[in-house]
Structure 1
Amino acid sequence: MSETEANPTDLLFNQSLEKGLAVLRAFNAQRRTMTLGDVASATSISKSSAQRMVHTLETLGYICKHPRTRRYQLTPKVLEVGYNYLAADILVDVANPFLSELANMTGETVNLTEPYEREMVYVARFVASKFIPIHMPIGSRIPMYCTASGRAYLSGLDESEAQTLLLSSERAVHTPHTRTGVEDIMETVRVARERGFASNREELFLGDMTVAAPIFNSERRPVASVHVVAPTSRWTAEDAERKLGPLVLECARSISNSVRTLV
């Protein structure tokens, strides 16, 4: 973000609010704590603006200064915003019993993700007692193009819409198995559309394999994906697709049917 107006014709747009949100979003795993200078640099705003934003957020309780290091960090109050979204999200309430049942049936970790721009966001999770190679807490985001949940969501869109999303994605290579070619990825989306579920074989993380199916609303638009984690230490791709695919698909259909009766 810069000091220039995001849209000079939008008289209702509040740049101060934009800057304040930018400050909150600047804190992450790489920037757990920051000085005022760090905040200004991370958000591309002036140091005086950063000072005003930090002071306001500190007064409101969203940021605090460490007593020893004197560096700023987020407080648990920030979680209120995310929690309120989950509390208001009827899909999560509807899906939870089905996700729990799927986790019990498969003995593996089950997740619910929702689309945001070109990523899928974790909004519900049932963790199995078995080892999983990657921990993805609620709120984590993963790219659509190289994940089963993302491809499941894309399979619910029409061909041109799915392709447009892929073309606008930054398709980085994460592992030796990552597919980055649009046509190559679109072929996996077409296969997922035909059989009802998608799969991912170590394209985002090594050792991580997932099987996913899309969830639809009453207008037959995809609104989320449910996926099961099938680590390569316990599953072959063929067994995961053969055994988990139908279960994931049935779970997604049950959630979709329940959502339609409430919307």
Structure 2
Amino acid sequence: MSDYNETETASGAEDTYLVPALERGLRILELFCHHDPVLTPNVIAQRLNLPRTTAIRLVQTLQSLGYLERANRDRDFRLGPRVMKLGFEYLNSLALTDIGTPVIERLRDDTGFASHLVVRDGRDVVFVAKAWTHDNTLSTIKVNVGTRIPAHASVHGHVLLGDLDEADVEALFPEPMLPTYTPHTPRNAKEVYERAQKYAAEGCAVSESSFEPGISVISAPVRDSSGLIAAAVTLTVARPFIEKTLVDQGLVGRVKAAAKDLSERLCYYGEEGQGKE
């Protein structure tokens, strides 16, 4: 008998996959507000109509994960730093995309090529903003916001890994042999690190069909107020290689200028072409 009955209603199907403990935990976090910054397990149990022992277990679990912490007396709890961290990271991501979108749109308008803003999430590169082009040659290469690609295999990832030392890269990619996508894909952490350092020294990366055949990419790092790489501005050229005429037109320089512009908008004014000297 199938685990999923296709004749179920949409709401019934959704209810089937709800996790009660997770739902209760999230509802507990929602109880804390400006008017009620501190709550006891007894109050939580009453407001959510839960057994007191269940409320205590849920509160202790949230405390162990850092989402709640004790306040005042031992029986009182308030939101922990993990909740604030989530909130600040969300706001920071909004600021990056809000500030970065006009920059990549202008880069698209200046060059005629699709431009993206990407960040690194662990071993992946995530596309967080895009400025698409109406060029028909790109019609089959739809990269949407939220798309993920492996950091070790893409020029975007190599640029975003530019701050990491060799030990950090080895910890991130411990496999003796990494998945390869083209003959240009680094095969291990050492090769990933060497590629990242090369692009870090150059302040930009140009990749021709290194991850996807027929697609060339120019990518430059964006630094935030701390001086660390926060994102990368990229330009996608739907060609197996970038012609000399495009290079002579300053295509690479325009990508670097866009990354510099966004870095300055994020209050980075460092050296090496990433800010005001």
Match of 1:114 in 2: 119
The verdict on how the C-alpha distance between 1:211 and 1:260 changes in structure 2, with shifts beyond 3 A counting, is: same
| Residues in 2 aligned to 1:157 and 1:244: alpha-carbon distance in whole angstroms | 27
Question: Aligned Cα RMSD in Å?
Answer: 3.3
Corresponding residue to 2:3 among 26, 31, 36: 36
Using the TM superposition, give the Cα deviation of residue 121 of structure 1 relative to its aligned residue in structure 2, in angstroms. Answer: 0.7
Per-residue deviation, residues 95-131 of structure 1 (Å, max 9, x unmatched): 1111111111111000011111111111100011112
| Residues in 2 aligned to 1:36 and 1:166: alpha-carbon distance in whole angstroms | 37
Match of 1:71 in 2: none
Q: How does 1:39-54 map to 2 (within 5 A)?
A: 53-54=16-17
Contact 2:169 2:192 in 1 (8 A): no
Aligned residue for 1:215, secondary structure, equals strand
Match of 1:64 in 2: none
Corresponding residue to 1:236 among 228, 235, 242: 242
Contact 1:113 1:121 in 2 (8 A): yes
Contact 1:120 1:144 in 2 (8 A): yes
The verdict on how the C-alpha distance between 1:138 and 1:128 changes in structure 2, with shifts beyond 3 A counting, is: same
| Residues in 2 aligned to 1:116 and 1:36: alpha-carbon distance in whole angstroms | 33
Match of 1:174 in 2: 181
Q: How does 1:217-228 map to 2 (within 5 A)?
A: 217-228=224-235
Corresponding residue to 1:95 among 77, 100, 103: 100
| Residues in 1 aligned to 2:152 and 2:118: alpha-carbon distance in whole angstroms | 14
- AA of the residue aligned to 1:136: V
| Residues in 2 aligned to 1:248 and 1:174: alpha-carbon distance in whole angstroms | 25
Match of 1:129 in 2: 134
Contact 1:201 1:208 in 2 (8 A): yes
Per-residue deviation, residues 140-163 of structure 1 (Å, max 9, x unmatched): 001111212111111133444344
Match of 1:149 in 2: 156
Contact 1:201 1:209 in 2 (8 A): yes
Using the TM superposition, give the Cα deviation of residue 253 of structure 1 relative to its aligned residue in structure 2, in angstroms. Answer: 1.3
Contact 2:117 2:231 in 1 (8 A): yes
The verdict on how the C-alpha distance between 1:176 and 1:222 changes in structure 2, with shifts beyond 3 A counting, is: same
Match of 2:196 in 1: 189
- AA of the residue aligned to 1:135: K
| Residues in 1 aligned to 2:190 and 2:99: alpha-carbon distance in whole angstroms | 35
TM-score relative to the length of structure 1: 0.62
| Residues in 2 aligned to 1:246 and 1:140: alpha-carbon distance in whole angstroms | 26
- Paired residues, number: 190
| Residues in 2 aligned to 1:146 and 1:226: alpha-carbon distance in whole angstroms | 17
The higher relative CO (CA closer than 8 Å, separation ≥ 6) is in 1
Using the TM superposition, give the Cα deviation of residue 167 of structure 1 relative to its aligned residue in structure 2, in angstroms. Answer: 3.5
Aligned residue for 1:156, secondary structure, equals coil
Using the TM superposition, give the Cα deviation of residue 52 of structure 1 relative to its aligned residue in structure 2, in angstroms. Answer: 6.1
- AA of the residue aligned to 1:93: D
| Residues in 2 aligned to 1:220 and 1:88: alpha-carbon distance in whole angstroms | 17
| Residues in 2 aligned to 1:169 and 1:118: alpha-carbon distance in whole angstroms | 15
Aligned residue for 1:253, secondary structure, equals helix
Match of 1:200 in 2: 207
| Residues in 2 aligned to 1:244 and 1:168: alpha-carbon distance in whole angstroms | 36
Q: Any gaps of 5 or more consecutive residues in structure 2?
A: 6-12, 24-89, 269-277
Contact 1:156 1:214 in 2 (8 A): no
Per-residue deviation, residues 169-195 of structure 1 (Å, max 9, x unmatched): 972122344332433333322221111
Match of 1:139 in 2: 146
TM-score relative to the length of structure 2: 0.59
